[in-house]
Amino acid sequence: MIVNYCNSGWEIITQRGHGLLAIQICARWKISGQPYRWVETLIATTGHDEVFNEFTLCSPKG
């Protein structure tokens, strides 16, 4: 999760949102500089944080 303080309050980007932000950055990568396994790179970039869900609450043990 990315959290930034702004004049109007807080800007919060969820884990999944930051994965989507990362893919948008990759989309601007010059074709000449793209890795050999470009599709795999895009898939890995988009899904790199899908295992974490910040909206899932941990239940208390007991």
Residue pLDDT, tens place only, 1-60: 778 888 999 988 777 777 788 888 888 989 999 989 998 988 888 776 665 665 665 555
Q: Reduce the DSSP state of residue 8 to 3 states and report it.
A: coil
Q: CA–CA separation, 54 vs 59, rounded Å?
A: 14
Q: Is residue 8 part of a domain?
A: no
Q: Is residue 32 part of a domain?
A: yes
Q: Which domain holds residue 28?
A: 15-51
Considering the entire predicted model, what is its pTM? 0.53
**Could you identify the residue written with the tokens 């989507």?**
20
Q: Is residue 59 part of a domain?
A: no
Domain total of the chain: 1
